[in-house]
Structure 1
Protein backbone atom coordinates (compact mmCIF):
# COMPACT_ATOMS: atom_id res chain seq x y z
CA UNK A 1 0.00 0.00 0.00
CA UNK A 2 2.76 2.44 0.86
CA UNK A 3 4.43 1.86 -2.55
CA UNK A 4 1.17 2.69 -4.31
CA UNK A 5 0.81 5.82 -2.18
CA UNK A 6 4.36 6.90 -3.06
CA UNK A 7 3.68 6.34 -6.79
CA UNK A 8 0.44 8.33 -6.60
CA UNK A 9 2.23 11.15 -4.78
CA UNK A 10 5.04 11.16 -7.38
CA UNK A 11 2.49 11.17 -10.21
CA UNK A 12 0.68 14.08 -8.55
CA UNK A 13 3.94 16.04 -8.20
CA UNK A 14 4.81 15.40 -11.87
CA UNK A 15 1.32 16.44 -13.01
CA UNK A 16 1.43 19.60 -10.89
CA UNK A 17 4.87 20.43 -12.29
CA UNK A 18 3.62 19.84 -15.87
CA UNK A 19 0.63 22.10 -15.29
CA UNK A 20 2.73 24.79 -13.63
CA UNK A 21 5.34 24.77 -16.40
CA UNK A 22 2.67 24.74 -19.11
CA UNK A 23 0.99 27.75 -17.47
CA UNK A 24 4.33 29.60 -17.33
CA UNK A 25 4.74 29.05 -21.08
CA UNK A 26 1.19 30.27 -21.74
CA UNK A 27 1.66 33.33 -19.51
CA UNK A 28 4.94 34.29 -21.22
CA UNK A 29 3.42 33.79 -24.67
CA UNK A 30 0.45 35.99 -23.72
CA UNK A 31 2.77 38.70 -22.35
CA UNK A 32 4.85 38.55 -25.55
CA UNK A 33 1.71 39.03 -27.65
CA UNK A 34 0.68 41.95 -25.42
CA UNK A 35 4.11 43.57 -25.87
CA UNK A 36 3.87 43.19 -29.64
CA UNK A 37 0.42 44.78 -29.56
CA UNK A 38 1.73 47.64 -27.40
CA UNK A 39 4.50 48.32 -29.92
CA UNK A 40 1.84 48.48 -32.64
CA UNK A 41 -0.38 50.77 -30.55
CA UNK A 42 2.46 53.19 -29.86
CA UNK A 43 3.55 53.22 -33.51
CA UNK A 44 -0.03 53.93 -34.57
CA UNK A 45 -0.16 56.78 -32.05
CA UNK A 46 3.04 58.22 -33.52
CA UNK A 47 1.62 57.85 -37.02
CA UNK A 48 -1.55 59.67 -35.95
CA UNK A 49 0.54 62.61 -34.65
CA UNK A 50 2.56 63.02 -37.87
CA UNK A 51 -0.06 64.92 -39.95
CA UNK A 52 -0.44 67.50 -37.16
CA UNK A 53 3.34 67.84 -36.87
CA UNK A 54 3.70 68.31 -40.63
CA UNK A 55 1.02 71.01 -40.61
CA UNK A 56 2.58 72.83 -37.66
CA UNK A 57 6.10 72.98 -39.14
CA UNK A 58 5.23 73.37 -42.83
CA UNK A 59 5.37 77.13 -42.66
CA UNK A 60 8.84 77.03 -41.13
CA UNK A 61 10.25 74.33 -43.41
CA UNK A 62 8.69 75.07 -46.80
CA UNK A 63 11.82 74.03 -48.69
CA UNK A 64 12.06 70.67 -46.89
CA UNK A 65 9.54 68.70 -48.96
CA UNK A 66 11.80 65.62 -49.03
CA UNK A 67 11.58 65.40 -45.23
CA UNK A 68 7.80 65.60 -45.36
CA UNK A 69 7.70 62.94 -48.08
CA UNK A 70 9.81 60.61 -45.90
CA UNK A 71 7.53 61.25 -42.93
CA UNK A 72 4.44 60.55 -45.02
CA UNK A 73 5.99 57.34 -46.36
CA UNK A 74 6.93 56.24 -42.83
CA UNK A 75 3.39 56.97 -41.65
CA UNK A 76 1.90 54.93 -44.50
CA UNK A 77 4.24 52.04 -43.72
CA UNK A 78 3.29 52.09 -40.04
CA UNK A 79 -0.43 52.15 -40.78
CA UNK A 80 -0.04 49.28 -43.25
CA UNK A 81 2.12 47.19 -40.93
CA UNK A 82 -0.17 47.74 -37.94
CA UNK A 83 -3.29 46.85 -39.90
CA UNK A 84 -1.89 43.89 -41.89
CA UNK A 85 1.05 42.56 -39.87
CA UNK A 86 0.22 43.72 -36.36
CA UNK A 87 1.45 40.44 -34.87
CA UNK A 88 4.81 40.52 -36.67
CA UNK A 89 7.28 42.14 -34.27
CA UNK A 90 10.07 42.44 -36.85
CA UNK A 91 7.81 44.32 -39.28
CA UNK A 92 6.82 46.67 -36.44
CA UNK A 93 10.46 47.28 -35.49
CA UNK A 94 11.36 47.96 -39.13
CA UNK A 95 8.50 50.47 -39.39
CA UNK A 96 9.65 52.11 -36.16
CA UNK A 97 13.20 52.40 -37.49
CA UNK A 98 11.96 54.01 -40.71
CA UNK A 99 9.95 56.52 -38.68
CA UNK A 100 12.95 57.38 -36.49
CA UNK A 101 15.04 57.95 -39.62
CA UNK A 102 12.37 60.24 -41.05
CA UNK A 103 12.03 62.13 -37.76
CA UNK A 104 15.78 62.78 -37.27
CA UNK A 105 16.02 65.84 -39.55
CA UNK A 106 12.88 67.41 -38.08
CA UNK A 107 14.19 66.85 -34.54
CA UNK A 108 17.52 68.42 -35.49
CA UNK A 109 15.88 71.49 -37.01
CA UNK A 110 13.45 71.77 -34.10
CA UNK A 111 16.20 71.55 -31.47
CA UNK A 112 18.39 74.10 -33.24
CA UNK A 113 15.63 76.63 -33.90
CA UNK A 114 14.31 78.63 -30.92
CA UNK A 115 11.58 80.23 -33.05
CA UNK A 116 10.19 76.81 -33.92
CA UNK A 117 10.45 75.67 -30.28
CA UNK A 118 8.42 78.70 -29.23
CA UNK A 119 5.44 77.57 -31.31
CA UNK A 120 3.21 75.91 -28.69
CA UNK A 121 1.51 73.22 -30.79
CA UNK A 122 4.77 72.16 -32.43
CA UNK A 123 6.56 71.91 -29.10
CA UNK A 124 3.69 69.89 -27.62
CA UNK A 125 3.63 67.55 -30.63
CA UNK A 126 7.38 66.99 -30.41
CA UNK A 127 7.01 66.19 -26.70
CA UNK A 128 4.20 63.74 -27.44
CA UNK A 129 6.22 62.09 -30.22
CA UNK A 130 9.24 61.80 -27.91
CA UNK A 131 7.07 60.33 -25.15
CA UNK A 132 5.51 57.85 -27.57
CA UNK A 133 8.93 56.87 -28.93
CA UNK A 134 10.06 56.22 -25.34
CA UNK A 135 7.01 54.02 -24.74
CA UNK A 136 7.76 52.14 -27.96
CA UNK A 137 11.35 51.54 -26.83
CA UNK A 138 10.09 50.32 -23.45
CA UNK A 139 7.66 47.91 -25.14
CA UNK A 140 10.48 46.65 -27.37
CA UNK A 141 12.73 46.13 -24.34
CA UNK A 142 9.90 44.26 -22.59
CA UNK A 143 9.40 42.10 -25.68
CA UNK A 144 13.10 41.29 -25.85
CA UNK A 145 13.21 40.37 -22.14
CA UNK A 146 10.06 38.24 -22.29
CA UNK A 147 11.27 36.49 -25.45
CA UNK A 148 14.59 35.71 -23.75
CA UNK A 149 12.79 34.22 -20.72
CA UNK A 150 10.48 32.21 -22.97
CA UNK A 151 13.35 30.95 -25.14
CA UNK A 152 15.31 29.92 -22.05
CA UNK A 153 12.36 27.82 -20.91
CA UNK A 154 12.13 26.22 -24.36
CA UNK A 155 15.74 25.02 -24.26
CA UNK A 156 16.43 24.46 -20.54
CA UNK A 157 15.91 21.16 -18.77
CA UNK A 158 13.37 20.13 -17.55
CA UNK A 159 10.97 22.75 -19.01
CA UNK A 160 12.07 21.77 -22.53
CA UNK A 161 10.15 18.51 -22.00
CA UNK A 162 6.92 20.49 -21.66
CA UNK A 163 7.94 22.63 -24.65
CA UNK A 164 8.34 19.49 -26.78
CA UNK A 165 5.12 17.90 -25.50
CA UNK A 166 3.01 20.99 -26.21
CA UNK A 167 4.92 22.29 -29.24
CA UNK A 168 6.23 25.52 -27.70
CA UNK A 169 8.95 26.74 -30.08
CA UNK A 170 11.57 29.46 -29.74
CA UNK A 171 10.46 33.03 -30.30
CA UNK A 172 12.29 34.81 -33.13
CA UNK A 173 14.56 37.59 -31.95
CA UNK A 174 14.36 41.19 -33.11
CA UNK A 175 16.92 42.57 -35.51
CA UNK A 176 17.29 46.20 -34.59
CA UNK A 177 19.14 48.57 -36.90
CA UNK A 178 21.99 50.65 -35.56
CA UNK A 179 19.92 53.57 -34.28
CA UNK A 180 22.88 55.95 -34.30
CA UNK A 181 23.33 55.40 -38.02
CA UNK A 182 19.58 55.34 -38.56
CA UNK A 183 19.03 58.70 -36.91
CA UNK A 184 22.17 60.49 -38.02
CA UNK A 185 21.64 63.87 -39.58
CA UNK A 186 23.72 65.57 -42.24
CA UNK A 187 25.13 69.05 -41.74
CA UNK A 188 22.63 70.47 -44.25
CA UNK A 189 19.74 69.01 -42.29
CA UNK A 190 20.81 70.74 -39.07
CA UNK A 191 20.79 74.21 -40.57
CA UNK A 192 17.98 76.35 -39.34
CA UNK A 193 15.39 76.90 -42.04
CA UNK A 194 14.70 80.38 -43.26
CA UNK A 195 11.76 81.42 -41.15
CA UNK A 196 9.31 83.81 -42.69
CA UNK A 197 6.68 85.09 -40.31
CA UNK A 198 3.78 86.67 -42.12
Structure 2
Protein backbone atom coordinates (compact mmCIF):
# COMPACT_ATOMS: atom_id res chain seq x y z
CA UNK A 1 0.00 0.00 0.00
CA UNK A 2 2.74 2.49 0.89
CA UNK A 3 4.61 1.73 -2.36
CA UNK A 4 1.52 2.72 -4.34
CA UNK A 5 1.29 6.03 -2.50
CA UNK A 6 4.98 6.72 -3.07
CA UNK A 7 4.65 5.78 -6.76
CA UNK A 8 1.63 8.06 -7.24
CA UNK A 9 3.34 10.88 -5.35
CA UNK A 10 6.43 10.59 -7.56
CA UNK A 11 4.28 10.35 -10.70
CA UNK A 12 2.23 13.37 -9.62
CA UNK A 13 5.43 15.29 -8.88
CA UNK A 14 6.83 14.46 -12.31
CA UNK A 15 3.60 15.46 -14.02
CA UNK A 16 3.54 18.75 -12.12
CA UNK A 17 7.19 19.35 -13.02
CA UNK A 18 6.56 18.65 -16.72
CA UNK A 19 3.52 20.93 -16.69
CA UNK A 20 5.54 23.66 -14.96
CA UNK A 21 8.40 23.45 -17.46
CA UNK A 22 5.98 23.34 -20.40
CA UNK A 23 4.07 26.37 -19.12
CA UNK A 24 7.33 28.23 -18.51
CA UNK A 25 8.47 27.59 -22.08
CA UNK A 26 5.10 28.63 -23.50
CA UNK A 27 5.18 31.77 -21.37
CA UNK A 28 8.67 32.71 -22.57
CA UNK A 29 7.75 32.04 -26.20
CA UNK A 30 4.67 34.27 -25.84
CA UNK A 31 6.70 37.04 -24.19
CA UNK A 32 9.24 36.85 -27.03
CA UNK A 33 6.45 37.32 -29.57
CA UNK A 34 5.14 40.28 -27.56
CA UNK A 35 8.63 41.80 -27.45
CA UNK A 36 8.97 41.43 -31.23
CA UNK A 37 5.61 43.15 -31.66
CA UNK A 38 6.74 45.97 -29.36
CA UNK A 39 9.86 46.47 -31.48
CA UNK A 40 7.62 46.64 -34.54
CA UNK A 41 5.39 49.17 -32.80
CA UNK A 42 8.34 51.38 -31.92
CA UNK A 43 9.80 51.16 -35.43
CA UNK A 44 6.40 52.06 -36.86
CA UNK A 45 6.20 54.97 -34.40
CA UNK A 46 9.62 56.12 -35.54
CA UNK A 47 8.78 55.97 -39.24
CA UNK A 48 5.42 57.73 -38.76
CA UNK A 49 6.29 60.23 -36.03
CA UNK A 50 9.64 61.55 -37.14
CA UNK A 51 8.63 62.76 -40.63
CA UNK A 52 5.55 64.45 -39.13
CA UNK A 53 7.65 66.13 -36.45
CA UNK A 54 10.17 67.19 -39.06
CA UNK A 55 7.45 68.75 -41.22
CA UNK A 56 5.98 70.54 -38.20
CA UNK A 57 9.33 71.97 -37.18
CA UNK A 58 10.09 73.05 -40.75
CA UNK A 59 6.71 74.78 -40.96
CA UNK A 60 7.23 76.56 -37.66
CA UNK A 61 10.75 77.62 -38.56
CA UNK A 62 9.58 78.89 -41.97
CA UNK A 63 6.86 80.93 -40.25
CA UNK A 64 9.39 82.31 -37.77
CA UNK A 65 11.83 83.11 -40.58
CA UNK A 66 9.20 84.98 -42.61
CA UNK A 67 8.30 87.17 -39.63
CA UNK A 68 11.96 87.92 -38.92
CA UNK A 69 12.53 88.73 -42.61
CA UNK A 70 9.54 91.09 -42.61
CA UNK A 71 10.91 92.84 -39.52
CA UNK A 72 14.33 93.18 -41.15
CA UNK A 73 12.75 94.60 -44.33
CA UNK A 74 10.76 97.14 -42.31
CA UNK A 75 13.92 98.22 -40.49
CA UNK A 76 15.79 98.62 -43.80
CA UNK A 77 12.99 100.77 -45.24
CA UNK A 78 12.99 103.02 -42.18
CA UNK A 79 16.77 103.26 -42.28
CA UNK A 80 16.63 104.29 -45.94
CA UNK A 81 14.05 106.94 -45.16
CA UNK A 82 11.42 105.24 -47.26
CA UNK A 83 7.78 105.12 -46.34
CA UNK A 84 7.65 102.01 -44.22
CA UNK A 85 4.14 102.56 -42.88
CA UNK A 86 2.59 100.14 -45.40
CA UNK A 87 5.12 97.46 -44.55
CA UNK A 88 4.68 98.01 -40.81
CA UNK A 89 0.88 97.98 -41.18
CA UNK A 90 1.14 94.64 -42.99
CA UNK A 91 3.51 93.22 -40.40
CA UNK A 92 1.89 94.41 -37.15
CA UNK A 93 -1.14 92.08 -37.06
CA UNK A 94 1.04 89.04 -37.73
CA UNK A 95 3.63 90.15 -35.22
CA UNK A 96 0.99 90.93 -32.60
CA UNK A 97 -0.49 87.44 -32.89
CA UNK A 98 2.94 85.87 -32.52
CA UNK A 99 3.92 88.10 -29.60
CA UNK A 100 0.62 87.51 -27.80
CA UNK A 101 0.94 83.76 -28.12
CA UNK A 102 4.69 83.65 -27.60
CA UNK A 103 6.61 86.71 -26.34
CA UNK A 104 9.85 85.33 -27.77
CA UNK A 105 10.24 83.42 -30.98
CA UNK A 106 11.30 80.00 -29.79
CA UNK A 107 12.39 78.01 -32.81
CA UNK A 108 15.17 76.48 -30.76
CA UNK A 109 12.58 75.05 -28.35
CA UNK A 110 10.76 73.39 -31.24
CA UNK A 111 14.02 71.90 -32.48
CA UNK A 112 14.80 70.80 -28.92
CA UNK A 113 11.46 69.03 -28.69
CA UNK A 114 12.14 67.29 -31.99
CA UNK A 115 15.49 66.08 -30.69
CA UNK A 116 13.84 64.91 -27.45
CA UNK A 117 11.28 62.88 -29.43
CA UNK A 118 14.06 61.37 -31.53
CA UNK A 119 15.99 60.36 -28.40
CA UNK A 120 12.84 59.00 -26.75
CA UNK A 121 11.98 56.87 -29.78
CA UNK A 122 15.54 55.54 -30.04
CA UNK A 123 15.55 54.68 -26.33
CA UNK A 124 12.26 52.81 -26.64
CA UNK A 125 13.53 50.82 -29.62
CA UNK A 126 16.76 49.98 -27.79
CA UNK A 127 14.84 48.89 -24.67
CA UNK A 128 12.46 46.72 -26.71
CA UNK A 129 15.37 45.06 -28.51
CA UNK A 130 17.15 44.42 -25.22
CA UNK A 131 14.01 42.83 -23.78
CA UNK A 132 13.63 40.59 -26.82
CA UNK A 133 17.28 39.54 -26.71
CA UNK A 134 17.07 38.71 -22.98
CA UNK A 135 13.87 36.71 -23.38
CA UNK A 136 15.27 34.80 -26.37
CA UNK A 137 18.41 33.96 -24.42
CA UNK A 138 16.40 32.69 -21.42
CA UNK A 139 14.14 30.63 -23.68
CA UNK A 140 17.00 29.13 -25.70
CA UNK A 141 18.95 28.27 -22.54
CA UNK A 142 15.94 26.38 -21.21
CA UNK A 143 15.68 24.48 -24.48
CA UNK A 144 19.22 23.13 -24.20
CA UNK A 145 19.60 22.55 -20.44
CA UNK A 146 18.66 19.30 -18.79
CA UNK A 147 15.95 18.30 -17.81
CA UNK A 148 13.86 21.00 -19.52
CA UNK A 149 15.49 20.08 -22.85
CA UNK A 150 13.86 16.64 -22.68
CA UNK A 151 10.44 18.20 -22.16
CA UNK A 152 11.06 20.85 -24.84
CA UNK A 153 12.05 18.20 -27.39
CA UNK A 154 9.05 16.04 -26.47
CA UNK A 155 6.68 18.93 -27.14
CA UNK A 156 8.48 20.23 -30.23
CA UNK A 157 9.78 23.58 -28.96
CA UNK A 158 12.25 25.18 -31.39
CA UNK A 159 14.98 27.74 -30.61
CA UNK A 160 14.26 31.39 -31.29
CA UNK A 161 16.42 32.85 -34.04
CA UNK A 162 16.63 36.23 -32.42
CA UNK A 163 15.76 39.62 -33.79
CA UNK A 164 15.04 39.64 -37.51
CA UNK A 165 14.12 43.08 -38.76
CA UNK A 166 14.36 44.20 -42.39
CA UNK A 167 17.44 46.32 -43.06
CA UNK A 168 15.30 49.25 -44.19
CA UNK A 169 13.61 49.45 -40.78
CA UNK A 170 16.88 49.35 -38.86
CA UNK A 171 18.09 52.61 -40.39
CA UNK A 172 17.23 55.73 -38.45
CA UNK A 173 15.43 58.25 -40.64
CA UNK A 174 17.47 61.34 -41.44
CA UNK A 175 16.08 64.63 -40.24
CA UNK A 176 16.91 67.74 -42.24
CA UNK A 177 15.60 71.08 -41.11
TM-score, normalised to structure 2, is 0.62
Structure 1 segments (4+ residues) deviating >6 Å:
none
1:41 Cα deviation after fit: 1.0
In the other structure, the counterpart of 1:158 is: 147
Higher relative contact order, chain-length normalized (CA < 8 Å, sep 6+): 2
Q: Is the 8 A contact 1:42 1:132 kept in 2?
A: yes
Tell me by how many angstroms 1:160 deviates.
Answer: 0.5
Tell me the SS of whatever aligns to 1:125.
Answer: helix
Distance 2:46 2:31 in 1: 22
Q: Secondary structure at the match of 1:171?
A: coil
Unmatched segments (≥5 aa) in structure 1: 61-116, 177-181, 184-192
Distance 2:44 2:111 in 1: 19
Aligned counterparts of 1:119 and 1:35: Cα–Cα separation in 2: 35
Residues 51 and 137 (structure 1), Cα distance of their counterparts in 2 relative to 1, 3 Å cut: same
Q: Tell me how far apart the structure 1 counterparts of residues 125 and 35 of structure 2 sit (CA, whole Å).
A: 10
Residue equivalent to 1:7: 7
The question of whether the paired residues in 2 share the 8 Å contact of 1:43 and 1:136 is answered with: yes
**Cα distance in 1, alignment partners of residues 22 and 49 from structure 2:** 41
1:5 and 1:53 mapped to 2: Cα distance?
Answer: 69
Going from structure 1 to structure 2, the CA distance change for 1:118 and 1:59 (only over 3 Å counts) comes to closer
Q: Distance in 1 between matches of 2:144 and 2:13?
A: 22
Do the aligned partners of 2:54 and 2:114 also contact (CA within 8 Å) in 1? no
Are 1:38 and 2:27 matched, yes or no? no
Compute the TM-score of the two structures, normalised by the length of structure 1: 0.56
Structure 2 alignment gaps of length 5 or more: 62-105, 166-170
Query: How many residues are matched?
Result: 126
Report deviation, 1:175: 7.2
Give the secondary structure class of the aligned counterpart of 2:32. helix
Larger Rg belongs to: 2
Note the alpha carbon deviations across 1:4-47, whole angstroms, 9 max, x for none. 11110110000000010011001101111111111111111111
1:48, distance to aligned residue in structure 2 (A): 1.5
